[in-house]
Chain A
Amino acid sequence: MAHDHDHHHHDHDHGTILSDVELRVRALESVLVEKGYVDPAALDLLIETYETKVGPHNGAHVVARAWSDPAYRDWLLKDATAAIQSLGYIGRQGEHMVAVENTPTLHNMVVCTLCSCYPWPVLGLPPVWYKSAPYRSRAVMDPRGVLQDFGVTLPDGKQIKVWDSTAEVRYLVLPERPAGTEGWSEERLATLVTRDSMIGTGIARVPA
């Protein structure tokens, strides 16, 4: 699969030349609107939701809560769907959640080799690389090599566990809490939680 950004060479920002795919999408939308199949206001609201409301900051909230509150961590690992819902993150592509915890001896990484399954309510829409052939093909076979592409090197003996999301269960990695964060507030801890650390292609930021 090609990367998205290889496909719009034309300078559409200046409003003069539209690519074939842009023209096709515009035409399709006008047909669907004219036929009454879609409400343009609903389309705008869907986009606004996933552009501005839903994103990895939601997951960072979950992780920071789990780091701060041992009872919440236990609940998250036992019944992630309920624990995540309790913070208000619910719905499409997060209906059945499982949280998996990184430890000093175990690193978890999540992939969807078959398509692009991803926990939308906590992480938002998947990044392009998550849906790309290099990641989907290699994560299950050579996850250490994939991690190198992200600049992450795991200790040799660390177990690595890859979760291939082949059903409607969605996985969230609970990264290791960085050292030197004792006594930090939940809000401050959340600033250390990256999207990649919750997919398992990264680790949490280390405080400066």
Chain B
Amino acid sequence: MNGGADMGGMQGFGPVRHEGENEPKFHAAWEKRVLAMTLAVGATGQWNIDMSRSARESLPPPQYFAKSYYEIWLSGLEKLMIERGMISAEEVEAGRVLAPPKKLPRILTAEAVPAVLAKGGPTERPGDQPARFKTGDRVRARNMHPTGHTRLPRYVRGHVGTIELLHGVHVFPDSNAKGQGEQPQWLYTVRFEGRELWGSDADPTLSVSVDAWDSYLEPVV
């Protein structure tokens, strides 16, 4: 989706406002609760990480730009739970329980937290298909504009780059976000010269590398 989240190359947002090395980890107590709820409810297995990213990134751009990052997470969490019948929109607005809970196969207990965090969610999958590309191959990022979730940023689409790294076969977010399965594909790092992306006025010392799944790429002969 060409949504608000796909920001690479947009202009006019102003300077980066950093707060130094000792920036507080949270800027309000509620942010901690949103982080923790997102991780804990995520661990109940009602959705995958791509669905969760998609829920945030499909916010209409005016909302996406207006919200702080943890507000975006809050909005994504509410949406995912409502979609799955875990809570209702009325319950979110009322702030109290109005209907019985959905039965969940598991919840995250405090005892399980260290192991769940240590395990993480690796996305590499076994695969015996050979890689279509090798290091040094020239490839074009497809000119595509899917309406659903994708991880191919707009600013590289249509541009030619070079295969730089091969990462093995990984879960494909575009299908996984839609509940259409993991459909694992080869994942590559593709390096683009700055001038290929931004034109002849661009910084000649710049290159930008993105991670791209096989179906995002076409060979350049």
Contact = CB atoms under 8 A, between A and B. Distances in A.
B151 interface: yes
Nearest to B123: A168
A42 B8 CA distance: 36
How large, as a class, is the contact surface on chain B?
35 or more
A101 interface: no
B125 to A, nearest CB: 11
Contacts of B35: 46-47, 50, 125
Given A7-B68, A92-B120, A45 B211 contact: no
Interface residues of A, number: 93
B83 to A, nearest CB: 15
A206 B199 CA distance: 36
A54 B210 CA distance: 26
Contacts of A165: 211
Contacts of B57: 114-115
Contacts, number: 298
Given A135-B16, A162-B207, A1 B65 contact: yes
A126 to B, nearest CB: 9
B113 A42 contact: yes
A93 B165 CA distance: 19
Contact of B101 (A36, A125, A144, A164): A36
**Most chain B beta carbons < 10 A, residue from A22, A39, A51, A93:** A39
Given A129-B16, A134-B15, A27 B209 contact: no
Contacts of A26: 30, 33, 95
B205 interface: yes
**Most chain A beta carbons < 10 A, residue from B10, B41, B116:** B10
Contacts of B213: 167
B25 interface: yes
17 contacts: A4-B70, A22-B28, A28-B77, A35-B86, A36-B104, A37-B44, A38-B107, A96-B123, A113-B155, A137-B10, A137-B11, A140-B155, A141-B9, A159-B205, A159-B207, A163-B189, A163-B208
Given A41-B109, A137-B11, 15 more contacts: A4-B70, A23-B95, A25-B33, A43-B33, A90-B118, A114-B7, A114-B151, A114-B153, A127-B18, A132-B16, A135-B16, A141-B11, A141-B202, A168-B121, A196-B21
Interface of B: 5-11, 13-19, 21, 23, 25-37, 39-41, 44, 53, 56-57, 64-72, 74, 77-78, 86-87, 91-92, 94-97, 101-102, 104, 107-110, 112-114, 116-124, 151-153, 155, 165, 167, 170-171, 173, 187, 189, 191, 197-198, 202-203, 205-213
